[in-house]
Each structure stands twice: as C-alpha cells, then as structure tokens.
C-alpha cells in the first residue's frame, strides 16, 4: 500500500534564514514559492536540535499553518535568534498543489548561518542563507 502513494519531488520551493532590515541582529525564516502555481494548505513544523558545549539541546517544536502562498511570492514563517544557529534548525514543509500532497525537509546545519554563506535571497531581496 505504501508503494502506491505518490509523493512528488519538491522543486522551486525554498527556505531561507534572512537578515531583517530592522537591524543586524534581527533574523527571520522565510518560505519562498518560485513556482508558477499557488501552494495550498501549507504546514511548516520547526525545531532545533544538537549539542552546545557538549550538552544535548532541543528547542520546542512549533507548527505554522498558511492557507495559501501565491506563485512567485514568499511568507515569513517565524523569527529566529542567533543563539540557535549552533543547532540543526529543521523545517518540515507540507503543502498541496491540485489536491496532491508535497513535502520536504530543510535543515540549516550548525555554522551554516555565516557571512561567507550569505546570498541575496530571491523575491525577498535581502541577504540570507538559502536552501533550494
């Protein structure tokens, strides 16, 4: 039965940790829809996990729901603080297109949110770390 479930590969949908315009210490996590179609019934779960100073650390798991995200647009998922950049920051995305479910996991690994990895994030047009 499981083999009969078709879950398509997610393309043209990205996640980014973006430095906000409000200040150098303000960061946000964004979902970017580069597709030509709307994403519907979007659920994003977020959590951080890993080790800091040899001690296992885990953040609370948060769930976010968005009714839709238009083609060629973006939405801010949540604010993120620099203190968790030393953890794996995982975002699990689920959405529908034409009644067909899509899902993908995005993980920002420790140390990935750094100046040398920053690009101008498409559509958002701010500096950040992008996972396509």
Contact status, residue 45 vs residue 37, Cβ threshold 8 Å: no
The pTM of this model reads 0.92
Q: Can you tell me the distance from the alpha carbon of 38 to that of 89, in angstroms, rounded to the nearest whole number? A: 26
What's the pLDDT tens digit per position in 31-86? 999 999 999 999 999 999 999 888 999 999 999 999 999 999 999 999 999 999 99
Q: Can you tell me the distance from the alpha carbon of 91 to that of 105, in angstroms, rounded to the nearest whole number? A: 6
What is 2-131's CATH number, 3.40.50, 2.40.160, 2.20.25, 2.60.40?
2.60.40
What's the pLDDT tens digit per position in 79-116? 999 999 999 999 999 999 999 999 999 999 999 999 99
Q: Which pLDDT does position 25 carry in this prediction?
A: 79
Name the nearest CA neighbour of 27 among 81, 74, 87, 77: 81
- Here the tokens at position 54 are 């040899």
Name the nearest CA neighbour of 39 among 6, 73, 9, 7: 73
In percent, the amount of the chain with pLDDT more than 90 equals 86
Q: Using CB atoms within 10 A of its CB, is residue 35 exposed (0-12), middle (13-18) or buried (19+)?
A: middle
């Amino acid at each position: 039965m499981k083999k009969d479930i078709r879950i398509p590969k997610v393309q043209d949908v990205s996640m980014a940790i973006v430095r906000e315009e409000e200040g150098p210490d303000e960061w946000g996590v964004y979902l970017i829809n580069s597709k030509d179609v709307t994403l519907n019934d979007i659920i994003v779960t977020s959590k951080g996990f890993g080790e800091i100073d040899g001690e296992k650390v885990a953040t609370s798991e948060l769930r976010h729901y968005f009714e839709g995200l238009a083609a060629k647009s973006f939405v801010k998922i949540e604010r993120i603080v620099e203190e968790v950049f030393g953890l794996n920051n995982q975002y699990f995305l689920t959405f529908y297109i034409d009644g067909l479910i899509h899902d993908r996991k995005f993980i920002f690994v420790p140390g990935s949110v750094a100046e040398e990895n920053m690009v101008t994030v498409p559509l958002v047009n701010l500096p950040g770390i992008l996972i396509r």
